[in-house]
Structure 1
Amino acid sequence: MQHFSAIPTLIKIIEDCTQEAVVRHEAAEALAAFRDPKFIEVLRRFTSSECVELAETCKIAVDYLKWISDLQSDQEKSSVSVFGTLDPAPPLDNKIDNAAGLDEIARIFMDTNQPLFSRYRAMFSLRNIGTREAVEVLIEGFKDSSALFKHEIAFVFGQLQSEYAVQSLMNVLRDDTEHPMVRHEAAEALGAIASRKEIYTLLKEFSASHHPRIIRESCHVALDMYEYGKSEEFEYTLNHFS
């Protein structure tokens, strides 16, 4: 939305250590989405935060805003992804027309010595490629130690709606040792894919009251997404506008 009236509230949320990590993360990402380098100093203050997910988000956001400030043309600065979203990092510039190109992007994506911003760029490149091979590389990213990184992979799978990602997303949702923000995003991705009855069954199971709030509420949302995706209204919309 990029409403400037929201900026003071976003900054307050980022500063508020009583807020959940996922909320502070979203606020920092939203601030960066204004694409204004003047917010670099605000975000840089939290790159050493004890909240790891916030610190990592702010590092990516600072690098993103530096990247924006280095662009020469307004056309580059206003670019939106093929999925209609303003992503927290742009895809890599590589032209992928062979296996070697995919291998290079996969190498950057999996290299924990690379800045997270570079790995995010590789992630969004893999999303844009969207082949089974690209999805399989993204799945490997679930082995990473960064909850932020893994939650973004799950988000990308929700955009791709790839059947190849379903089993991995189900495994993430079932894993009670996984960070809640990763499981939350996996649940919503499953709701977006809505390709199997077992997805509905799993989401229903984890929407029960004894599961953590963020998980059960995410599953409630995902169930609504699933049911809407299977509805006659949705099918009509697809057929009418395709």
Structure 2
Amino acid sequence: MVNTFIERNVADWKPTHKKLAELLLDPKTPLFQRYRALFSLKNLADKPSVDIIIQCLREEKESDLLLHELTYCLGQMKSKDAINVLCETMADPSLHAMVRHEAAESLGAISQLDTIPELEKFLNDDCKPLADTCLLAIEKIKYDHSPDKQKEDPAPEEAVHTSIDPVPATTNTKSIAELRTMLCDQEAPLWKRYRALFALRDINNDDAVHALAEAMETDVVSSLLRHEIGFVFGEMQNPASVPSLSRVLANTKEEPMVRHEAAEALGSVATPEVFEILKKFTDDPVKIVRDSCIVALDMFDYEQSGEFQYAIVPKEGEGEKAF
């Protein structure tokens, strides 16, 4: 099936697309290499790359972690061609909650008003991370199409991160104490807590890290929020987050989607002690967690290597020789 898809499309592709498709679509390829192939396609950001990622999302049967990452990349690429497969993924109860949640979040990233009715179908779903994500995605889409976005959003050259966030950072305050109070208020709307979360990420000093860590380790309301804190720790790459991330990864009572983000964040922070921390959990009984640790160790190697990007795209003119 993989070969049929590649053979059917290869005439319209560059050699790079063919090689990346072979790596990503082959379940025998080591997971960390499939990850790198995926992010190479994300960076290419063209139609063949979107088509290959969609094909993998439809075919993948073994790795919930990879399925989650495929849906994430389609959202970050803002591909309207991916809307149908993301809606199908969101609606499939056989899939892991982490995958369905990410499909909903990606619909929010693509931000088309006509996807709101699809998201509304799951606002009361028994899968709470999915229901909460749909609520945030609807709010984000409405925000994106409102005058508030033009008033509040920073100019592109002022933006701290290039990722499409599920919620915009609050602009009402830069006080870490106030943002911490907003974030740690477990009775506050999730939209408000998320906005404080991303504002603290953008500040990215040790006090901001400590506020985020407190919320990550004390919250009992939203695994979705706790997992998002893990994700932003990976973006921040602040060594002050390592103790908290290590405790979360080691907490077997924590939700797998939270432990997964803690593992990948540790790989991104990549301080010397991280390697041994991650190695301890590469045989974790929870597959998503142990797979995340394997990928995180590859991220650790990348961060230590000084490579330009976490990808395997060849240099111009090198074609398949670069592989």
Same fold at TM > 0.5: yes
Q: 1:71 to 1:170 in 2, by over 3 A?
A: same
* Alignment deviations for residues 13-36 of structure 1 (CA, whole Å, 9 cap, x no partner): 111011000000110000111122
Q: Say whether 1:214 aligns with 2:288.
A: yes
CA shift for structure 1 position 9: 0.6
Q: Distance in 2 between matches of 1:14 and 1:84?
A: 25
* Alignment deviations for residues 92-125 of structure 1 (CA, whole Å, 9 cap, x no partner): 11242xxxx3222222111122211111000000
Contact 1:180 1:215 in 2 (8 A): yes
Q: Which shows bigger deviation, 63-72 or 178-187?
A: 63-72
One-letter amino acid of the counterpart of residue 88, structure 1: P
Q: 1:63 to 1:214 in 2, by over 3 A?
A: same
Structure-2 residue corresponding to 1:86? 164
Q: Say whether 1:18 aligns with 2:18.
A: no
Contact 1:172 1:186 in 2 (8 A): yes
Structure-2 residue corresponding to 1:151? 227
Contact 2:230 2:265 in 1 (8 A): yes
Structure-1 residue corresponding to 2:305? 231
Count, aligned residues:
229
Q: 1:162 to 1:232 in 2, by over 3 A?
A: closer
Q: 1:40 to 1:232 in 2, by over 3 A?
A: closer
Partner-residue secondary structure (3-state), 2:145:
helix
Structure-2 residue corresponding to 1:140? 214
Q: 1:41 to 1:164 in 2, by over 3 A?
A: same
Structure-1 residue corresponding to 2:23? none
Instruction: State the TM-score, normalized to the length of structure 2.
Output: 0.67
Give unmatched runs, 5+ long, in structure 2.
1-76, 310-323
Structure-2 residue corresponding to 1:131? 205
Q: Distance in 2 between matches of 1:162 and 1:232?
A: 17
Q: 1:91 to 1:78 in 2, by over 3 A?
A: closer
The 5 A counterparts of 1:7-86 are: 7-71=83-147, 81-86=159-164
Q: 1:34 to 1:233 in 2, by over 3 A?
A: closer
The 5 A counterparts of 1:169-208 are: 169-196=245-272, 198-208=273-283
Contact 2:152 2:171 in 1 (8 A): no
Q: 1:73 to 1:141 in 2, by over 3 A?
A: closer
Which is higher, the Rg of structure 1 or of structure 2? 2
CA shift for structure 1 position 78: 9.4
CA shift for structure 1 position 38: 2.1
Q: Which shows bigger deviation, 66-75 or 180-189?
A: 66-75
Give unmatched runs, 5+ long, in structure 1.
236-242
Point out which structure has higher relative CO (alpha carbons under 8 A, 6+ apart). Answer: 2
